[in-house]
């Protein structure tokens, strides 16, 4: 699979059917929009509310990669993998940028006025509030951030770090 190409990696047989899609995007300013459009194209049939949540999380996390992972993103890529079973949707974003664990990122204090408001930091706060599952792993010099949604919106999970 080349940059920007999509690949359906397979459907697992057995009691739980799994659909897996993957795509690699060049690291540039257009990547967040391209990644969310691709997500919408492969996630047909997902409820509109759940798809909106997944799209917002993907956009925020990919935007952070593009803005902060490298001093110069030229020549780098962002890989996105989507797995869907009957019970869960998971999205993994992978990059070769500097280590960054979103679970340990500080959340800015609430501002009591516009003068006190500090720009930035609200995207991760949204992701942490929306996604019931958020995991981080640094493996072989690569960041892997995975967020997930369970079929039942009321199901919650504790974020994990490896």
| Radius of gyration over every alpha carbon of the chain, rounded to an integer in angstroms | 16
78 inside domain:
yes
Give the C-alpha separation, 92 to 34, whole Å: 15
Whichever domain contains 13, its CATH number is: 3.30.565.10
1 inside domain:
no
Write the CB contacts of 32 (distance below 8 Å, at least 6 apart in sequence): 58, 59, 62, 63, 66
Spell out, as residue ranges, where the chain has pLDDT lower than 50.
Answer: 1-4, 8-13, 153-160, 162
116 inside domain:
yes
Collapsing DSSP states into helix, strand and coil, what is residue 49?
A: helix
* Cβ contact 7:21 at 8 Å: yes
pLDDT of residue 153: 47
Angle at 62 between CA 57 and CA 68, to 5 degrees: 125
Domain that holds residue 64: 6-161
CA of 145: how far to CAs of 7, 13, 84, 119, 160, in Å?
Answer: 20, 26, 16, 23, 10
Residues in the chain, overall count: 162
Give the C-alpha separation, 57 to 63, whole Å: 10
Structural domain total, the chain:
1
- Residue 74 tokens, joined: 């030229």
* Cβ contact 58:91 at 8 Å: yes
pLDDT of residue 83: 94
* Cβ contact 134:162 at 8 Å: no
pLDDT of residue 107: 76
Give the C-alpha separation, 11 to 36, whole Å: 22
pLDDT of residue 158: 42
């Amino acid at each position: 699979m080349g940059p920007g190409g999509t690949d359906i990696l397979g459907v697992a047989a057995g009691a739980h059917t799994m659909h897996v899609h993957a795509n690699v995007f060049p690291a540039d300013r257009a990547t967040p929009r391209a990644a969310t459009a691709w997500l919408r194209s492969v996630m047909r049939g997902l409820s509109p509310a759940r798809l909106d949540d997944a799209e917002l999380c993907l956009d925020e996390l990919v935007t952070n990669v593009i803005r902060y992972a490298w001093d110069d993103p030229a020549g780098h890529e962002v890989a996105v993998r989507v797995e869907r079973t009957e019970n869960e949707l998971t999205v993994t974003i992978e990059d070769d940028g500097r280590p960054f664990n979103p679970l340990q990122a500080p959340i800015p204090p609430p501002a009591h006025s516009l003068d006190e408001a500090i720009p930035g930091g609200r995207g991760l706060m949204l992701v942490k509030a929306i996604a019931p599952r958020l995991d981080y792993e640094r493996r072989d010099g690569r960041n892997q951030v995975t967020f997930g949604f369970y079929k039942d919106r009321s199901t919650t999970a504790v974020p994990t770090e490896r």
